[in-house]
Amino acid sequence: MISLMKNFMKLEPVGENSFRVTELRGGLRNSTTVYGGQLVGQAMAAAIKTAPEGFYAHSFHSHFLQTGDTKKPLQYDVEHLRDGMSTSARHVKASQDGTIVFGAQVSLCTSKAVTNALTHQAKMPDVPLPDDLPDAETILNDLLESNTLNEEQTKFIRFRIQNVPESFITRPVNRAAWERLRPTPPKYAVWMKLKERIEDTPTTHHCIAAYISDSAMVSTGLLPHLKEGENMYTKVLMFSLDHSIWIHRPDFRVDEWLLYELESTVADNNRAMILGKMWTLDGRHVMSTAQEGLIRPLTK
């Protein structure tokens, strides 16, 4: 098992406000394009490392500017925009060979408990619990053994088995949306948790939640456009254009079950909008995400 803590979330200081990364992960196995979630999680970590002690990133807004190369070192440079008593702001730039590939604006706040705060939230979706659901890889292997797939679908499912997240246990709630063999509404929900037990520092859990939050967003926008019997993923170009995160409640762990609920609310002009909510097992809404993704049909 690949350790996120030892490999992909490790930032080496190279100056007071700069960090270097050499262990880079592709978005897909054998891909040399850096996984967007790694840029998101590491940029959040870089901002936190330059903030006052006890601060965490409550609001994060970023843009993917160029594709990153997994074969080249990546550098994060952090600019201090503001430091106040209870909030701070940072601008983070990620670059390779002097070219900026990713930029993020990060707002941080103190983790001290707020007294007399107004609180409310929507109700968590009524879904099966993770102990009652099969793992993502099990669902895909069952499909292969069913002898119901054509040659193109078989190649697609085998490819997806190779790219099931290695560091997380994932248990999809809506099976058809995970199988992706026929059109479904643009909604997807999955239970997930990190396979390894990690340190108690809350910001570490936040950064890893940010890391995994990019994993299924843009593909949710393709769900209603799938065609039965075809592998639509070979017929479109897809990648993330931007990514935003809001952490509402900082006391959650990624090595315990989290429900990630995604919905694409609109798509047009080759762009899809996807909104996400992250819930703890006991029903607390702890994090929200938003992303615009490019989904462009390939021309022959």
Catalytic option among 62, 215, 240, 264: 240
Mean pLDDT, the chain, integer: 93
- Give yes or no: 59 in active site: no
Domains 1-112 and 128-238+251-300 share a fold: yes
Among the listed ranges 67-71, 164-168, 194-198, 202-206, which one has the minimum average pLDDT value? 164-168
208-252 pLDDT, tens digit per residue, is: 999 999 988 999 999 999 988 777 778 899 999 999 999 999 999
- Give yes or no: 3 in active site: no
Catalytic option among 214, 215, 219, 244: 214
Among the listed ranges 85-89, 91-95, 184-188, 295-299, which one has the minimum average pLDDT value? 295-299
- How high is the pLDDT of residue 168? 93
- Give yes or no: 146 in active site: no
Residue 204 φ then ψ, to 5°: -65, -40
pTM for the whole structure: 0.94
Domain segments of the chain as ranges? 1-112, 128-238+251-300
Distance, CA of 174 to CA of 49 (rounded, Å): 38
* Residue labelled with tokens 């803590």: 5
Task: Please name the fold of domain 1-112.
Answer: Thiol Ester Dehydrase; Chain A (3.10.129)
Catalytic option among 167, 215, 244, 291: 291
Q: Residue 299, class by beta-carbon neighbours within 10 Å (0-12 exposed, 13-18 middle, 19+ buried)?
A: exposed
Kindly indicate the confidence band of residue 3, based on its pLDDT and cuts at 50, 70 and 90: low
146-163 pLDDT, tens digit per residue, is: 988 888 899 989 988 988
Kindly indicate the confidence band of residue 55, based on its pLDDT and cuts at 50, 70 and 90: very high
Distance, CA of 16 to CA of 22 (rounded, Å): 19
The CATH code of the domain at 128-238+251-300 is 3.10.129.10
- Tell me what the mean pLDDT of segment 273-292 comes to: 98
